[in-house]
Structure 1
C-alpha cells in the first residue's frame, strides 16, 4: 500500500512533478479527442481544462482533488451547434450550460440535492447516457472506415483503426497499475506509430510549427461578436442536466477514495459551481465544456496521493502544453482512423455506462413504467426526432429525449420514492468505486 499524501500536503518537488505528469497523461487522450471530433482546437482544450481545474480547486477551497477535462456528453451538441452558428455559436451554448450549473448550485445550497435526483432519476439519466454513446456510433465508424478527404471506404485506414482498437482493448484489460488507467493514450500512441509505418501521417505541420505558439483562442468581443441563438441553447443546455448527475456520482466515488464526505464539505454546491465556472472559462476561450474526470479519480485511488497541489501541477502542465506549438501540431497530425479506432471503444463505453447505471440502481425494466420511459428516450434520441418550432428554432433529438424522459417520469404513476442523501451516497459510491476510471 502506498503511503497516503493528504489533500493539503505538498510533495517533494521531484515527486510532485512526476505525480502531476501522471495526471496529465491520464486525462490527455480523452481531453484532446473531444476537440478533434468537434473541430475545436486541442491546444485551447488543454489550456481551458488547466485553467478550469485551477479555478475549480479555488472554488472548492482546495478540498477536492479532482481534474476537469473535455466532456464527451457535449460532442453531438457541439457538432450540431457548430453547424448552426459555427464554433462561436457552440461557445455561446457552452456558456449557458455553465450558467445552468451555477443556478443548480445555488438551488442545492438552499434546498439540498434530493430535488435533482427526483428530477433526474436513473431511469431517465441511464437511457439518455446511452443515447449519447449510441448517437456517436456512426461518427466512430465513419472515422475508422472512410477516407476523410474522399468519404470513400479505405481498407488501409480501417486496418489501422482496428489495430488501434485492439491495442486499446488489450491495454484496458491486461495492463495493471497506472498503465491500466491510460489505455486511450496507449492506443493513440500505438495507432499513431502504426500509421507512421504505413505512410499515412503527414509530418509537415510539426516541422513548420513554432516551439512556442499561442493557441487559436475564441474570445468574445475580441475575435468575434457573440450572438445568442435559442436553438443552440436548446441543443446544449439540457445536456448539462445529465452531466450534473454524473458529477454527483464522481463526487461520491471520490469521497469514498479520500475517506471524506465531499458532498457535505466543502459541499456539492461548491463542486457543481466549480464545474460550471470551468465550463464558462472554456466558453470564453474556445474550448469544449469541462467535467470531472473518472480517469484522474482512478489515478488518485491508485496512488493514494490526494494532494490538490498535485492536481494543480497537472493543470499547470496542461496550460504549458497548450502553448507548445510542436505539441499542438503533433495532435493535428493524428489520423482520423486512429481516433476512430479509439472512439469505437470510448463511445461504446459511454453507452454501456448508461446501461450500468440502470443495473447498479436495480432499475426493473420489466416494470411497464420503466420500460416505457427508457424505450421512448432511446428511440427519440437515437432516431433523431426533433420539434421544428419555426424556421430558425428547433429542439433536436438528444435535448428532446431528455425533456420527454423527465416529463414521462413525472406524470406516469408508480414513481419510486427518492432516497435520502445518505442512502444515495452509500448506494452510488459503493457501486461506482468498483470502476473509478470508467
Structure 2
C-alpha cells in the first residue's frame, strides 16, 4: 500500500502545485547553477535546459518517473579540458567543443538504451561493478579538489584571507544545513550556503554589483547554437575526453532509479524500463547541449524532497521544470547569480566535491568490497592514481586520452581481464568467514 500524500499521477491543487514546484526548484537550484559557473557557461541556459530536459524525460518515461534533471558534476573536468579552460572574465575559452562532446554523450546514452531494450540490463551491471565505479567517482571529487581550494583562497593567484573567510562561512553554513537541519532545508545545503555566503560577502565588501545595474529585467539567455555561435567540428580529443565518463554517469543513473523506486514503491528498472529512463537522460543532455547547456543527470536532491514530502506527483516535477524555464528569462535574477564571488563558489565546491568523493567510498563500503583481495586492491589503486595524477595516453599530437576518462577505461579493462573475478565479488564479511 502506497504511503504517498500525492501519488505519481495525482493532480495537486493550484496552491499545492505552485508551492511544491518552487520547493523542487530550490532543491536543485544551487547545484544546477554551480556547474556552469565553474566551467564558464551561462547559468540562465543551465536553468532553461534543466527544465526542458526534465519535461522531455517525463515524456519519454511515460510520466511514470518523478525525476528532475539538473547539471552533472561528472563532466566538469572534461568540459574544462576540451574547452581549453577559462578566460580571465570566467567564461569558457571554447564552449562549442564542450557542447559537441555533450551531444556525443547524449547519443551514447541513446545507443546504450537501445542495446538494453533489445538485450536486457544485466550485462551493463557486469561491466560497471562497484569496484570500478566507486574509485572513478572518487576521482571526480578528488580531482577537482585543487580547483575548489584555489577558488576559495586565491584572487588573481594571490592568497586573500578576506575571500577565504567568505569561503569558510559558506562551507560551514552548508555543513550546518546538511547535518543540523531536518526536512526540506536539509536537502538544500548548497543553496543555503550560497545565500549565507553571499550575504557575508556583501557585508565584507567583496561583491561587485555592476552586472545587476546593467541587467535588463527580462532578457534572453545566451544560447550557443552549432553552426551559428561555433563551428561544428567533431574531434577525437572531444570524444575521448567526454564519452568515457558515461561509465560513471550511467552507473549513477541506475543507482538513482533504484533509490527512487524504493521511495515511490515501484520497480523502474522493469517499468517503464531502464532503457526509457536512460534514453530520457541522454535526450535531455543532447537537447541541453544543442542550445548551450551542460550535460544533465537525475538529481538526488529532488529524490530527497520526494522522500521527505511523500508527494510523488509528476505534475509537481513538471511544475518545477516550468518554473526553472521562466526564471531563466529574468535578467536581473541571473545577474545576481553572476555577482556571486568566486570564494563563495569555492566554499560550496569544497563540500560538494568532497561529498562526491565520499559517495564513491560509500559505494565500496555499501557493497562490502573486500580490499584484502589483491584484485580489488589493484583495480582501485590504479584507477585512483591515474585519475587524480592526471595520467595521459598520447596516441598522436591531436589524439590522447587522459585523467578521469583514462582511469575509467583502464578500470573497465582491468575488471574484464584480471583473473579471480568471482572471488573478488564476495563481500568482505563472507571472505573473512571463509578464510577463518
**TM-score if structure 1 supplies the norm length?**
0.93
For 1:306 and 1:159, locate their aligned partners in 2 and report how far apart those are by CA, in whole Å.
Answer: 40
Match of 2:433 in 1: none
1:374 aligns with 2:374: no
Deviation at 1:350, TM superposition (A): 0.3
SS in 2 for 1:389: strand
Match of 1:195 in 2: 201
Match of 2:273 in 1: 267
Match of 1:425 in 2: none
Match of 1:130 in 2: 138
Question: In the superposition, relative to structure 1, how do residues 374 and 418 fare at CA in structure 2: closer, same or farther (>3 Å)?
Answer: closer
Q: What are the within-5 Å matches in structure 2 for residues 352-363 of structure 1?
A: 352-363=358-369
Deviation at 1:81, TM superposition (A): 1.1
For 1:260 and 1:384, locate their aligned partners in 2 and report how far apart those are by CA, in whole Å.
Answer: 41
Deviation at 1:388, TM superposition (A): 1.2
Match of 2:251 in 1: 245
Match of 2:28 in 1: 27
Query: CA offsets per residue over residues 110-138 of structure 1, 9 Å max, x none?
Result: 11111111111000000000000000000
For 2:4 and 2:138, locate their aligned partners in 1 and report how far apart those are by CA, in whole Å.
Answer: 38
Match of 1:9 in 2: 10
Deviation at 1:3, TM superposition (A): 5.6
Query: CA offsets per residue over residues 53-95 of structure 1, 9 Å max, x none?
Result: 0000000000000000000000000111110871000000000
Match of 1:113 in 2: 121
Q: 1:181 aligns with which of 181, 187, 191?
A: 187
Q: 2:210 aligns with which of 204, 217, 230?
A: 204
Deviation at 1:416, TM superposition (A): 2.9
1:220 aligns with 2:226: yes
Q: State whether residues 2 and 303 of structure 1, in contact with CA within 8 Å, keep that contact through their aligned partners in structure 2.
A: no
Q: State whether residues 99 and 280 of structure 1, in contact with CA within 8 Å, keep that contact through their aligned partners in structure 2.
A: yes
For 2:193 and 2:3, locate their aligned partners in 1 and report how far apart those are by CA, in whole Å.
Answer: 28
Match of 2:148 in 1: 140
For 1:311 and 1:99, locate their aligned partners in 2 and report how far apart those are by CA, in whole Å.
Answer: 25
Match of 1:282 in 2: 288
Deviation at 1:207, TM superposition (A): 1.5
Q: State whether residues 67 and 292 of structure 1, in contact with CA within 8 Å, keep that contact through their aligned partners in structure 2.
A: yes
Match of 2:56 in 1: 55
For 1:13 and 1:222, locate their aligned partners in 2 and report how far apart those are by CA, in whole Å.
Answer: 41
Question: In the superposition, relative to structure 1, how do residues 160 and 53 fare at CA in structure 2: closer, same or farther (>3 Å)?
Answer: same
Q: State whether residues 236 and 399 of structure 1, in contact with CA within 8 Å, keep that contact through their aligned partners in structure 2.
A: yes
Match of 2:112 in 1: 104
Deviation at 1:225, TM superposition (A): 2.5
For 1:417 and 1:310, locate their aligned partners in 2 and report how far apart those are by CA, in whole Å.
Answer: 46
Q: State whether residues 137 and 344 of structure 1, in contact with CA within 8 Å, keep that contact through their aligned partners in structure 2.
A: yes
Deviation at 1:390, TM superposition (A): 1.1
For 2:223 and 2:118, locate their aligned partners in 1 and report how far apart those are by CA, in whole Å.
Answer: 36
Match of 1:431 in 2: none
Match of 1:95 in 2: 103
RMSD: 1.4
**Structure 2: runs of 5 or more not aligned:** 86-92, 426-436
**Structure 1: runs of 5 or more not aligned:** 420-438
Match of 1:433 in 2: none
Match of 1:165 in 2: 171
Question: In the superposition, relative to structure 1, how do residues 50 and 368 fare at CA in structure 2: closer, same or farther (>3 Å)?
Answer: same
Deviation at 1:232, TM superposition (A): 1.0
Match of 2:43 in 1: 42
For 2:291 and 2:409, locate their aligned partners in 1 and report how far apart those are by CA, in whole Å.
Answer: 29
Deviation at 1:223, TM superposition (A): 2.3
Deviation at 1:107, TM superposition (A): 0.7
Deviation at 1:293, TM superposition (A): 0.2
Q: State whether residues 114 and 418 of structure 1, in contact with CA within 8 Å, keep that contact through their aligned partners in structure 2.
A: no
Question: In the superposition, relative to structure 1, how do residues 254 and 417 fare at CA in structure 2: closer, same or farther (>3 Å)?
Answer: farther
Question: In the superposition, relative to structure 1, how do residues 2 and 262 fare at CA in structure 2: closer, same or farther (>3 Å)?
Answer: closer
Query: CA offsets per residue over residues 116-167 of structure 1, 9 Å max, x none?
Result: 11111000000000000000000000000001xx210001000110111111
Deviation at 1:224, TM superposition (A): 2.4
SS in 2 for 1:416: helix
SS in 1 for 2:94: helix
For 1:74 and 1:344, locate their aligned partners in 2 and report how far apart those are by CA, in whole Å.
Answer: 17
Q: 2:339 aligns with which of 333, 340, 363?
A: 333
For 2:337 and 2:27, locate their aligned partners in 1 and report how far apart those are by CA, in whole Å.
Answer: 16
For 2:422 and 2:392, locate their aligned partners in 1 and report how far apart those are by CA, in whole Å.
Answer: 29
Q: 2:418 aligns with which of 409, 412, 416?
A: 412
Deviation at 1:258, TM superposition (A): 0.7
**TM-score if structure 2 supplies the norm length?**
0.94
